[in-house]
Chain A
Amino acid sequence: MTDATTSAPGAASIPGDVSAAEPRAQSRRRFRPSGSVVVMTLYLVFLMLPIYWLINMSLKTNTEILGAFSLWPRDLTFANYVKILTDPSWYMGYVNSIIYVTLNTVISIAVALPAAYAFSRYSFMGDKHLFFWLLTNRMAPPAVFALPFFQLYSSVGLFDTHIAVALAHTLFNVPLAVWILEGFMRGVPREIDETAYLDGYSFPKFFVKIFMPLVASGVGVAAFFCFMFSWVELLLSRTLTSVDAKPIAATMTRTVSASGLDWGVLAAAGVLTIVPGALVIWFVRNYIAKGFALGRV
């Protein structure tokens, strides 16, 4: 492992860069800064190596992948990406995934917003039990639900539609959204609600015009996490689809052809699934712990 680590291209440039952060670390004098930098560099290299390897493979031809072992593509090619982006049976996988993920995010946030408001502001009969019950759904193993979902959506004629997957994913995303939003909403002082009511705002008007802008970051974070958890899930989306709504994750299994496994295309498809998360992560970087901890922390 360490042997591989040191030989990775790009790894050498990181320690020098990170040492630029030394003055800040010294101001607290809690660690020898160099130690921290080494630890973080090693850890980040460990995280990035497999991803680098995937990108590396996606830029090679299959002959190069199976032929000579090389740390970077000698024979740089974008053919694998071109294949995915021009072949409908490939790129439709992405389109399908994006459709059901977006549907799911919209549905989840729409129903979670009022509920989170209720949980953060009012106490009502059974509120704690309800909140707990929602949590158990976030924790429920998809494997338990795979078969019943298959039967449920088949019987109502929704099998192999985007909406079926979107609804199935609400199982864990609605609870997630409610918990995250509740965490953000309780940070908004109740006086704001009361003042707005005194000023004669009706509840819907208050909620949309005053309250929503105040919890905008919370809505963004909740949406990001709904998007993400729906995007990374495979078991349910694969079980509920066959052709028309097949997600990219399931499409990836078809790289096995008569001529063996098409490694280059598989790697390129993998890289393309990482892109959406990588693009938006910067915006939610400060909330990511809160999101994973269901709105707490």
Chain B
Amino acid sequence: MNKTVNQKAWFLVLPVLILVGFSAVIPLMTVVNYSVQDTFGNNVFFWAGLDWFRDMLESERMWNALGRQLVFSGIILAIEVPLGIFVALNMPKKGFWASFCLVLMSLPLLIPWNVVGTIWQIFGRVDIGLLGYTLAKLGISYNYTQDFIAAWATVIVMDVWHWTSLVALLAYAGLQSIPDAYYQAAKIDQASRWKVFRFIELPKMAGVLMIAILLRFMDSFMIYTEPFVVTGGGPGNATTFLSIDLVKMALGQFDLGPAAAFSLMYFLVILLISWVFYTVMTNLDKREGR
């Protein structure tokens, strides 16, 4: 990195600073404000200290939502990452068919999230949806609005459908950067397919895969719209993830204090993961010598 030191560069960053400051810092301060106060209505607030945080830490509801969230993120990572790598390895390398696959694979990524929910809500319906209808014909009892397993399966398959392409695209970009000479060398050494993957492709993909895993973890950690549209968080609370629970609390019940405390703790987790992400990114940049 041979960047010139220039403090005047601050002026170039200033617009971003003001704009994001307006749309991030002010709202966040509101949240902090609510998290330490209580109210009986009429906009009269009084100091509540760390009570809300204590409440939230003891609240079974939040821990349950967090537990469900972690299980969900864990499952989708366990499916999407290997599947994405597998798809990337099987993609055409160049030419029209490579572009063709890229475009079709990107399509689910560009669909508004509530439409993704709607698509799967329809697709899984036993009366009018292809998936639900087929399963029903096969004699499998499937009802995502009432059955716990079916609801989870639907939400997970939906997420796999929606986001596996992201992992695949990143892995593919990593694969593209491997020079042909590596494969030729492996061929001369008569390396097996597995060894080519293990010692050439995987190390070369490691950086992008790390990005893919972090992005998927982050985005699944704040998933809201898709499961909300499909299951509404149900049956019961079975698919009420962190964001769904938070919106329920903040906008539905207007429990400002607990919701704010919840938000801040949520945000701390995000901050931690962002830091890991940032470290990975900067290391990756350094390794590429940019």
Contacts and interface: CB of A to CB of B under 8 A. Distances in A.
B75 interface: no
Interface residues of A, number: 107
Contacts of B101: 40, 44
A21 B95 contact: yes
Interface in A253-297: 263, 266-267, 270, 273-274, 277-278, 281-282, 285-286, 288-290, 292-294, 296-297
A139 interface: yes
Interface string B24-49: 10111011000000000000000000
B173 A141 contact: no
Given A121-B9, A267-B122, A239 B251 contact: yes
B202 to A, nearest CB: 14
A216 interface: no
Contacts of A146: 247, 250-251
A51 B15 CA distance: 40
Contacts of A135: 274, 277-278
Nearest to A119: B13
Interface residues of B, number: 110
Interface string A131-173: 1101111011111111111111000000000000001101100
Interface string A158-193: 000000000110110011001000000011001000
Interface in A101-119: 107, 110-112, 114-115, 117-119
A44 B168 CA distance: 12
Contacts of A143: 222, 224, 242-244, 246-247, 250, 263, 266
B196 to A, nearest CB: 7
A174 B20 contact: yes
A152 to B, nearest CB: 6
Nearest to B118: A270
A148 B27 CA distance: 5
B128 A274 contact: no
A288 B102 contact: yes
Nearest to B120: A50
A285 B15 contact: no
A50 B278 contact: no
A53 B104 contact: no
Interface-central residue, B187, B247, B273, by most chain A CB under 10 Å: B247
A139 B169 contact: no
B110 A47 contact: no
B5 to A, nearest CB: 5
Interface string A210-250: 00000000000000000010011111000100000000110
Interface SS of chain B = helix
Given A21-B92, A134-B16, A69 B133 contact: yes
Nearest to B3: A123
Interface in B118-152: 118-120, 122-123, 127-131, 133-134, 138
B5 A124 contact: yes
Contacts of A134: 16, 20
28 contacts: A31-B193, A44-B105, A47-B105, A47-B108, A57-B128, A66-B127, A115-B12, A121-B4, A121-B9, A124-B5, A127-B9, A132-B274, A140-B270, A143-B222, A143-B224, A143-B242, A143-B263, A145-B24, A146-B251, A147-B256, A152-B26, A252-B114, A267-B122, A289-B173, A292-B166, A293-B173, A296-B211, A297-B170
Given A43-B90, A136-B274, 15 more contacts: A24-B92, A30-B193, A50-B120, A69-B128, A123-B3, A123-B5, A127-B9, A135-B277, A147-B256, A148-B30, A186-B290, A232-B113, A249-B114, A292-B215, A296-B284
Interface of A: 1, 3-4, 18, 20-21, 24-25, 28-31, 35-36, 39-40, 43-44, 46-51, 53-54, 57, 65-66, 69, 71, 107, 110-112, 114-115, 117-119, 121-125, 127, 130-132, 134-137, 139-152, 167-168, 170-171, 174-175, 178, 186-187, 190, 228, 231-235, 239, 248-249, 252, 263, 266-267, 270, 273-274, 277-278, 281-282, 285-286, 288-290, 292-294, 296-297
Question: 9 smallest A-B Cβ distances: which pairs?
Answer: A277-B110, A148-B27, A141-B222, A118-B12, A143-B243, A122-B9, A289-B173, A118-B9, A114-B12
